[in-house]
Amino acid sequence: MLSDVDIKKRLGINVSIHPFAREKISGCGIYVTASKLAWSLKSGKKISTGDNICIPANDAALIITTEAISLDKTIAGICQSRVSLIKRGLGNNAAPITPGYTGRLLVVLNNRKNKDVSLCVGERIAIIILHELKSEADSEGRSVADYISSGAFMGLDLILDDQDRNELDNEMHSNGGMVKTYMEESQTYIDFTNRKNKGWLTKHIKPLLPSVIPALIGAIIGSVVTVVATAVVTAVVTSIATKGIN
């Protein structure tokens, strides 16, 4: 299992996520949020209106995450719902994320209550727990968006409008290089890397300053003394040589 430190070290190498937000990286995973792409498992109808997702009573929601991830074939994961959602009557079975997966994720949330339960678009709905494999996998997973954009998923005919299809067909869902590029070019990631580099300097360079600065000052003074002494000796020798000639 990868810790937050492990994940941060691997960002842009064998783990990429977009949109990137440093605060979504927890001690042992990455939180993902709900997008407007959400359907009823029973009816296949869209259940999002504006920034609200309404999961019908005794039904389940198929929710596409806002974030797209890209893993290389040495990294796999598990996606599971948050405990806070379980308290609200929602839950899901942990789903595997295969090595080499690229795309947004599908989170299935079951509403076990006899009344509708609402979520907000952008709300954290699950956490991705990542694992490093002992060896590179031979195969890789197919993006969930590939299945849903065809209009059929889990035996359902999901109701998609043109906007839904366009969003699902975004190249970010199938191109790991694009996920990495989007992440690395985002201001949130640039700020993160700048802060990380500054933190490294503070951690490794600052403790050396009490010993390095006096040494530098001593070296500078020594160099100045050497230059002055050399100049004086040169002047004296030149003077003596000149008098001897005269």
Q: Which residues of 61-83 are buried (b: 16+ CB within 10 A; e: fewer)?
A: bbbbbbbbbbbbbbbbbbbbbbe
User: Is 44 found in the same domain as 135?
Assistant: yes
Per-residue pLDDT of the chain (246 residues; tens, 9 = 90+): 999 999 999 999 999 999 999 999 999 999 999 999 999 999 989 999 999 999 999 999 999 999 999 999 999 999 998 888 988 899 887 889 999 999 999 999 999 999 999 999 999 999 999 999 999 998 776 677 666 655 555 566 778 888 888 887 776 677 888 999 999 999 999 999 998 665 544 555 556 557 667 777 777 777 776 776 677 667 666 666 666 655
Distance separating alpha carbons of residues 103 and 88, to the nearest angstrom: 28
User: Is 59 found in the same domain as 147?
Assistant: yes
Does residue 19 have a cis bond before it (omega within 30 degrees)?
A: yes
Distance separating alpha carbons of residues 203 and 196, to the nearest angstrom: 10
Looking at the structure of the chain, the number of domains it has is 2
Cα–Cα distances in Å, from 231 out to 220, 226, 234? 17, 8, 5
User: Is 107 found in the same domain as 223?
Assistant: no
User: Is 121 found in the same domain as 61?
Assistant: yes
User: Is 222 found in the same domain as 113?
Assistant: no
Determine the residue type at 55.
Answer: I
Which range of residues forms the domain containing residue 37? 4-201
User: Is 223 found in the same domain as 122?
Assistant: no
User: Is 167 found in the same domain as 136?
Assistant: yes
User: Is 141 found in the same domain as 222?
Assistant: no
What pLDDT score does 143 carry?
72
User: Is 217 found in the same domain as 197?
Assistant: no
Determine the residue type at 51.
Answer: D
On whether the CB atoms of residues 97 and 142 are closer than 8 A, the answer is no
User: Is 196 found in the same domain as 228?
Assistant: no
What pLDDT score does 200 carry?
47
User: Is 192 found in the same domain as 153?
Assistant: yes
What pLDDT score does 215 carry?
73
